[in-house]
């Protein structure tokens, strides 16, 4: 089963890292206030980074790595991802 690591940008400008097997459903859960205590009070949230993996385990490892990054490193990652899409 595929897994995804992601970064959300919250309404207060903070960043939240997580993993899921269904990015659309997870984003809806975050925005409805049922996904995490952290994002509940910082809605609405926007998915700014998404990375796909072959397994749940790989996605969870990437989430842990994202959480260890500094805010500046996360923002650079988001910026690099945005530039690829252009």
Cβ pair 60, 16 in contact under 8 A: no
For residue 85, is it within any domain? no
- Is the predicted pLDDT of residue 66 greater than 70, yes or no? yes
Residue numbers of the domain that contains 32: 3-80
Number of domains forming the structure of the chain? 1
Q: Which of 7-11, 34-38, 63-67, 81-85 shows the lowest per-residue confidence on average (mean pLDDT)? A: 81-85
> In this predicted model, what pLDDT tens digit does every residue of 6-47 receive, in sequence order?
999 999 999 999 999 999 999 999 999 999 999 999 999 999
For residue 75, is it within any domain? yes
User: Tell me, what CATH number does 16's domain have?
Assistant: 3.40.1440.10
- Is the predicted pLDDT of residue 71 greater than 80, yes or no? yes
Can you give the pTM of this predicted structure? Answer: 0.94
Better pLDDT: 13 or 84 = 13
- HEC states along the chain? CCEEEEEEECCCCCEEEEEECCHHHHHHHHHHCCCCHHHHCCCCCEEEEEEEECCHHHHHHHHHHHHHCCHHHHHHHHHHHHHHHC
pLDDT at 23: 98
For residue 86, is it within any domain? no
pLDDT at 86: 55
């Amino acid at each position: 089963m595929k897994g995804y690591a992601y970064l959300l940008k919250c309404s207060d400008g903070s960043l939240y890292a997580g993993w899921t097997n269904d990015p659309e459903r997870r984003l809806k859960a975050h925005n409805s206030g049922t996904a995490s205590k952290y994002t509940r009070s910082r809605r609405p949230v926007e998915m700014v980074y998404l990375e796909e993996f072959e397994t749940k385990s790989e996605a969870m490892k990437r989430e842990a790595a994202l959480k260890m990054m500094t805010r500046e490193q996360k923002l650079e990652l988001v910026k690099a991802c945005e530039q690829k899409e252009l």
